[in-house]
Amino acid sequence: MSNKKKKKLTPVQQEYQKFAKEREPKRPVAVNMFRAFLVGGTICVIGQLISDFFLWNFNFTEKTVGNPTVAVLILISVILTSTGVYDHIAQWAGAGTAVPVTGFANSIASAAIEHRSEGYVLGVGGNMFKLAGSVITYGVFAAFVIALVKTTITMLGGS
Amino acid sequence: MQAYIAAFIVGGLICVIGQVLMDVVKLTPAHTMSTLVVIGAVLAGLGLYEPLIDFAGAGATVPITSFGNSLVHGAMAEAETTGIVGILTGIFEVTSAGVSAAIIFAFIAALLARPKG
C-alpha cells in the first residue's frame, strides 16, 4: 500500500495494517527464484529443441523459424491448460511459467475456459484478453512510441 | 549443446527477473508481464535485444520480453519501407503468429474443455 493511501487511514486501521503485515507469511524468495530459473530455463530449452527441429526438417531460416516455434509452444501450453496440468506446474514454478510465451497463452486459454459459462460471445469472446490484454496494450503503446522516436531520428538524418 | 545451455541460462534469468518483480517489488503477474514487455521494447529500441537473441536463441525469443522486441521490429521494418504510417501497419507484423495462434487455440480449447478445479 502506498504512503499516500496510508495517511488517509484512521489510527486503528493503521494499526491493523501493521498487525496484518507482521503476520503475512514470508515469501521464500530464494526458493521461488531457483524454481523460476529451473522451469523458465527448461521451457526455453524446449523452445530451442522445437526451433532446431523446424530448422533441420523444413525450409526455415534463423529469422523465420520463430513463428512456428511460438505457435507450437502456444499449442502445447493451451493443451496443458485445458487438461488442468499447467496450473499445477504454475503453482510450483511461479514466474518460471508466467514469463515465457506459454504463460501468455495460458492466461488467454484459462480466461476463455473459465468464462465459458457466461456464453460464447460475452463470456469467452469478451473475457479472453482479461489478463493478456494489458500485456498487448502496454507492449503496443511502448513499441509505438519507441518506433516513432527511432523513425523520427532516422528521418532527421541521425544514425 | 552450447546453444541449449545459453538458452537455459538466459531464459532462466529472465524468469528470475520476473520472479523478483513478483516477490520483492510485489507486483501482480499482470503487472510483471506488462513491465517485462515494455522492458523488451525498450531494449529493442536501444538495439540490445538482437545481440541477446544471437547469443541465447530461444532463451531470448521464448520469454514475453521478445513480444515487445518483435512489436518494435515489425513497426521499424515497415516504417523504413512505407514511412511513418508503417508504424501502424507493421506493429503486429512479426507477432501476428503468436497472437493469432493464442486466440485460435484458446477458442478451440474453450469449445472443448470445461473449467478444472
Q: Hey, what's the torsion of the CAs at A134, A84, B99, B66, to 10 degrees?
A: 70
SS3 track for B16-70: HHHHHHHHCCCCCHHHHHHHHHHHHHHHHHCCCHHHHHHHHCHHHHCECHHHHHH
Nearest by CB: B34 against A48, A52, A134: A134
Please state the rounded mean pLDDT for residues B4-21. Answer: 93
Backbone angles phi, psi at B93, to 5 degrees: -55, -50
Does the ipTM surpass 0.95? no
Chain B from 6 to 65: CB within 8 A of any A CB: 7-24, 29-34, 36-38, 40-42, 44-45, 56-59, 61-65
Q: Suggest the residue from A44, A76, A130 to mutate for an interface test with chain B (most B CBs closer than 10 A).
A: A44
Using CB atoms within 10 A of its CB, is residue A134 exposed (0-12), middle (13-18) or buried (19+)?
middle
DSSP, collapsed to helix, strand or coil, labels residue A100 as strand
Q: What is the pLDDT of residue A106?
A: 92
Show the low-confidence residues of chain A (pLDDT under 50).
none
Q: How confident is the model at residue B40 (pLDDT cuts 50, 70, 90)?
A: very high
- Is the pTM of the predicted complex or chain greater than 0.80? yes
DSSP, collapsed to helix, strand or coil, labels residue A116 as helix
Q: What is the pLDDT of residue B84?
A: 85
Is residue A123 within 8 Å of A117, Cβ to Cβ? Answer: yes
Chain A residues whose beta carbon lies within 8 Å of the beta carbon of residue B31: 134
The residue behind cell 486501521 is A13
Cβ-Cβ contacts under 8 Å between A and B: the total is: 267
Rounded to the nearest angstrom, the minimum Cα separation between A18 and chain B is: 17
Computed over every residue of chain B, the mean pLDDT equals: 90
Q: What is the pLDDT of residue A4?
A: 63
Q: Where are the alpha helices (DSSP H) in A11-156?
A: 11-23, 29-57, 66-82, 85-93, 95-98, 101-114, 126-127, 132-155
- What is the distance between the alpha carbons of residues A134 and B30, in angstroms, rounded to a whole number? 7
Rounded to the nearest angstrom, the minimum Cα separation between A21 and chain B is: 13
A147–B72 C-beta distance less than 8 A = yes
Q: Give the model confidence (pLDDT) of A50-68 as tens digits.
A: 999 999 998 888 878 888 8
Q: Give the model confidence (pLDDT) of B75-112 as tens digits.
A: 999 988 888 888 999 999 888 888 999 999 999 999 98
